[in-house]
Amino acid sequence: MAGQLVDRVALITGASRGIGRCMAELFAQEGASVALVARSADALQDVSDAIIGRGGRALALPTDLVDPDAGSAAVERAQEEFGRIDVLINNAGGSSFMAPVAESRMSGVAKTMALNFDATLRMIQAVVPGMTARGRGSIVNVSSVTALRASPLLGHYGAAKAAVVSITQTLGVELAPTGVRVNALVPGWIATDLTEFLRGDDALEASILDRVPMHRWGTPDEIASAALFLASDASSFMTGQSLIVDGGLSANP
């Protein structure tokens, strides 16, 4: 199979739907063996079956990444199955509530940090020893445009994603001598099931798209293509960087 990820092994979190599923299917199409991590066992198996049905190699690993020990167990299982991990995509994330910062419950903030930042860092710590031993690897941390600008009602989520950008920069510098690259992917407003409630409200959707110079939602395929660029040798001279894919939102005053 010809492709940008032939003979590579990629572990993708949040792979059961939306952007994560698109990444998994695209990476498999490009030749990678893919280890798929998410909480939903049934949805994850559907993705794995679809990839295998098209001739690819996939392994479903139902995992709750908020559990401090679950991520490292998934990494170990993927390494047992495929021998190594060449690419890590930290895509799992999200927020279960919206609230002004001054009114946000600390328990909710802690849960948001646990999923978006703590789990990301633990996954990195689990794969880095193998990558550094082989002298190569690519880690892509999915952040959000909320990390780059004020995000009323989502300040807790933006703060967690800003931490992802910060740790990406530091890791990029720390790991550069080892041959391991670390970059962040920063999506804007993407049309997924998680944003369906926003797209179903005409007034709210208009207020969102008025700030996006391209005046449309991004698609999961567009984010998956950007992730492929960062994961592959096409970005071999990039590390510690943030690739923004947001239709111009972050550039709009």
Question: What residues are annotated to the active site?
Answer: 157
Query: DSSP letter at 190?
Result: B
Question: Alpha-carbon distance 172 to 27, whole Å?
Answer: 22
Question: Alpha-carbon distance 130 to 227, whole Å?
Answer: 21
Question: Alpha-carbon distance 106 to 90, whole Å?
Answer: 24
Q: Which residues of 132-167 are buried (b: 16+ CB within 10 A; e: fewer)?
A: eeeeebbbbbbbbbbbbeebeebbbbbbbbbbbbeb
135 phi/psi in degrees, rounded to 5: 80, 20
